[in-house]
A and B are shown apart, each in its own frame.
Chain A
Amino acid sequence: MLNTRRLSSRELTHYYLERSEKLQPKLNGYISITQEQALETAAQVDQLCSQGQELGTLAGIPGAIKDNISTQGVPTTCASRVLAEYIPPFDATVVKKLAHSPMLGKASLDEFAMGTGNLTSAFGPVRNPWDLERVPGGSSGGSAALVAAGCAPFSLGSDTGGSIRQPASYCGVTGLKPTYGRVSRNGLIAFASSLDQIGPFAWTIEDCALVLQAICGHDPGDATSAAVDVPDFTAYLHNDVSGLRIGLPQETFSNCPHPDTAKVVLRAAGELEKAGAELSWVSMPYEKEVMAAYILVATAEASSNLARFDGVNFGYRGAGENLEEMYTSSRRFGNEVSRRLVMGTFALSQKQCGECYELGQRARQLVDSHLGNIFQQVDVLLLPTAPSPAYKLDEGQDPLTAYYNDIYTIPANLAGLPAASLPCGESEGLPIGMQLMAPKFREDLLLRVGYTWQCCSDWHLRRPQEVE
């Protein structure tokens, strides 16, 4: 539509900005709305289009960016008091790649992307558009809620243990975590460097493929970015899964604490079988190891990554007679971040914890090689994204229960695999997502299965009425 100039980017951007402003009091999905910049970019794109320039597929289409992704000249807060006034002097690589996409604003998140309910943001919780008393999931809660409520046609999130897929599931949208190394992390404010990956949210897997196409590729500015060829992802959007082997992790379904979730996801698997896929049960027995590896590795890396927020260069600097007092009084992290930093510092300490970190790495390798074996037998794994639908804002989960919200999503991070969450049903009016997981750099399989699913279902097209 933009190419044929039936609609200008300015009109489109204006529409989304207006809706974003209108729903912000209800959803609190943004930390900042960048109206002026968005309209400026839109005008530029319109100008270029009118000159007949061929721009990328996403040119002129606005989107929201999670507020842990650096944007030059625009505050990037990580939803933390520590960075409340931090304005990056450079753009993240993904932001540079989306230069022709008007940025509507910076989406809220759990503080430093640590949380599963977007409850730890220093800027207040984000609400789930399907039920404003419930969480949108986390940590990319803002990114998911904004897309679900139609405030943004797409958004970017980041996924360290499920932070794209779980909120996508809670909010009834499609979310994709690419293979580790597929998308540059340069400019993403790190939580756990070996697990973090940026990815898209949209209503459909097709739109996710378009966004992925725009943001991925080898980046010399990120030593962990993979030097692999970027395929044309749209070429894999086939309504055809015949002969594809889909594995269902038995333990996940039988132990799922929310029976409706297991039922809904299994029913979706059945639909895919009708479409020609071959289903089989596989075993993924390492739940404890998955959690142990994740907690040790993620918190250890976080404790080191966040050490720089000591009040010397960033954020608030407390008073103190000496260096140590100054450091102590400068600490302004929220409870969840503090808890993880303490755990991570403990995990890395030779004196306190001996070989804890190494144990975590070994558990990680175990999970990785087990998944490797499973992918010898099947092409794709299909399982619930989260153990249950969105929980209530005031439910007050204890930390460990909260961490277990990510139990189905963490394995993909530990092994660096691509995974996606797609809407596949509901329970008492709340969306439920199914998760697809594939071997490294096989996003094509996710796209093929996801596209086929969205051709034979309409869950991704249902919109929440509560916000209207």
Chain B
Amino acid sequence: MDYQTIIGLEIHVELLTDTKLFCHCPTGFGAKPNSQVCPTCLGLPGSLPVLRPQAVTQALRAALALDCSINEVSRFARKNYFYPDLPKGYQITQTIPLAQDGKVKVGEQEIAISRLHLEEDSGKSVHTGDSTLVDYNRSGIPLAEIVTSPCIKSPAQAREFLEALRQIMQYAQVSDCRMDQGSLRCDANISLQGEEPAGARTEIKNLNSFKAVEQALGYEIRRQSEILEQGKNVKPETMHWNEVHGVTVPMRVKEESPDYRLFPDPDLPPLVVSGEEIQACRQSLPELPQGKFERFRRKYGLPDMDIQVLTKTRGMADWFEETVQAGADPQAAANWVCSEVTRLLNREGRDISSLAFTPGDLARLIALNQQGEISGTAAKQVLAEMFLGGGDPAEIMQQLGVAQVSDADSLLTLVNSVLAENREAVSDYHGGKKRALGHLMGQAMKKSQGRANPRKLKGLLLKELNKG
């Protein structure tokens, strides 16, 4: 039988801030273990947390970018549990969240965000041989926990949502959302619903990539539906995704859910944000992916496929717009950025911000091409050269000797020599085989090493053929 899939995601994003959430320690990734710590984030006796305002600003910006409504008063609470990488024996989180009721557009659907709250990260356990070491550099790094409502209908949609979410967070410069560095982490809840009320849900952890999210959810759907088919009940469990074997494995054997003994943190007064602060954060947000998409459609009249590529990152979109501002035709600029520029970047695994040439350089290359100074093929050659070391396209064109031949005398010489060398084709043409023109064009282009201006060449060729 067919089941309806119900998926909800819990995402933790590390906020981009100079300091940790409750102390002045720096937050850089990859520092020497336990080099970015102080009494507060080590949980030393007598140390106290003091909320750093930058984390609040960043969380507010994240919430506004996700279209959430902001709670002007929220509260920090202690979530008590024991783990070696949790230095205080509790994590400071929020029971009354900073923000709630947001949404993210995924294609034509909207995914509802039920809450966004601030919390501190734990340290990191590093297992080496028979011992476990703890690195507290991560302890106290500000996180925004983002919880979706259980409204995601398929593993593919879950992945698309995560991509959209990452795009928004990166646009807003709230988080770099690098799953490989742990700055975006995701747990997934999933249950199946048949005719009966929905079955128990399971939670999947250890999802290290968007692909893993999609695959693990797909696996879990198959596993749960097999159980339901057999008339059994799905156990409410926490599952661990085993990437190597492509299966989910139950993590906890304990029947009961943990008792976190949550209570308001007496060390921290309620967090109050004013209307002005919210307004200031709203104004500090850049144009977000959805808005940019619609504006590109309106302003440049580009096809959706192109806009999708162009707006994937802010850097790409800005680069495209600068090319247009430098005088390039929008569609031509889109074509170049989406295909050739993207291809070169992907080949080298580089980001658009690292390009050796400027949007102005590309605009000039496009102009050369449109003015017939250079053929499309040769322009690609010039671009590849610009990609390697930058430089003015006109100069590179000259250096490479790939400028297009457009002057009438040179072309006439070329045409006459081609006609002389291909008598058979000429007589075919005159005999009514108009296809022979194509052959002659091809020969002429070949002879010019692709440099002849095809439009002018064709005009001259026809003129000479029809003369005789």
A: residues with CB less than 8 A from B are 69-70, 76, 78, 83, 86, 88-90, 92, 185-190, 192-194, 220-224, 300-301, 303-304, 306-310, 312-314, 323, 327, 345, 348-352, 357
Contacts and interface: CB of A to CB of B under 8 A. Distances in A.
A87 to B, nearest CB: 11
B104 interface: no
Given A304-B261, A348-B263, A78 B45 contact: yes
B249 interface: no
B46 A89 contact: no
Contact of B45 (A83, A349, A357): A83
Given A301-B266, A349-B261, A307 B80 contact: yes
B45 A314 contact: yes
B267 interface: yes
B89 interface: yes
B269 interface: yes
Given A223-B267, A345-B261, A350-B259, A304 B45 contact: no
A308 B89 contact: yes
Contact of A224 (B80, B261, B267): B267
Contacts of A303: 80, 261
Given A193-B267, A224-B266, A301-B266, A186 B45 contact: no
Interface in B251-297: 256, 259, 261-263, 266-269
A202 to B, nearest CB: 24
B49 interface: yes
Contacts of B263: 300-301, 304, 348, 357
Contacts of B84: 312, 323
A190 B43 CA distance: 12
A312 B85 CA distance: 9
Given A224-B269, A307-B80, 19 more contacts: A86-B45, A187-B47, A190-B267, A221-B50, A222-B48, A222-B50, A223-B48, A223-B49, A223-B269, A224-B266, A224-B268, A303-B80, A303-B261, A304-B261, A307-B82, A308-B45, A345-B261, A348-B263, A350-B261
Nearest to B78: A304
A194 B266 contact: yes
A78 B80 CA distance: 22
A301 B80 CA distance: 11
B388 interface: no
Interface residues of B, number: 29
Contacts of A187: 46-47
B8 interface: no
Contacts of A69: 46
B422 to A, nearest CB: 86
B182 interface: no
B131 to A, nearest CB: 12
B61 interface: no
B142 to A, nearest CB: 16
B46 A189 contact: yes
B159 interface: no
A193 B266 contact: yes
B267 A304 contact: no
Interface in B17-58: 39, 42-51
A310 B261 contact: no
B259 A88 contact: no
Interface SS majority for chain A: loop
B155 interface: no
A357 B265 CA distance: 13
B87 interface: yes
B90 interface: yes
Interface of B: 39, 42-51, 78, 80, 82, 84, 87-90, 134, 256, 259, 261-263, 266-269
A69 B45 CA distance: 9
A185 B49 CA distance: 11
A391 B415 CA distance: 121
Contacts of A313: 42-43, 87
A189 B44 CA distance: 9
A327 B46 CA distance: 22
B461 to A, nearest CB: 83
B46 A223 contact: no
Given A222-B50, A308-B88, A88 B44 contact: yes
- Per CB-CB distance, the 10 closest pairs between chain A and chain B, nearest first, are A307-B89, A348-B261, A194-B266, A193-B266, A70-B46, A189-B45, A187-B46, A189-B46, A308-B89, A312-B84
A69 B51 CA distance: 23
A382 B51 CA distance: 39
A163 B190 CA distance: 52
Contact of A90 (B39, B49, B82): B39
A223 B23 CA distance: 12
A307 B88 contact: yes
Contact of B90 (A88, A189, A304): A304
Contacts of A188: 46
A185 B50 contact: no
B56 to A, nearest CB: 13
Contacts of B262: 348
Contacts of A323: 84
A186 B44 CA distance: 11
Most buried by B among A221, A223, A224, A306: A223
A327 B51 CA distance: 30
B90 A307 contact: yes
Contacts of A192: 266
A307 B260 CA distance: 12
Contacts of A185: 48
A223 B50 contact: yes
A190 B265 CA distance: 13
B46 A186 contact: yes
Contact of A88 (B45, B78, B261, B266): B45
B78 A89 contact: no
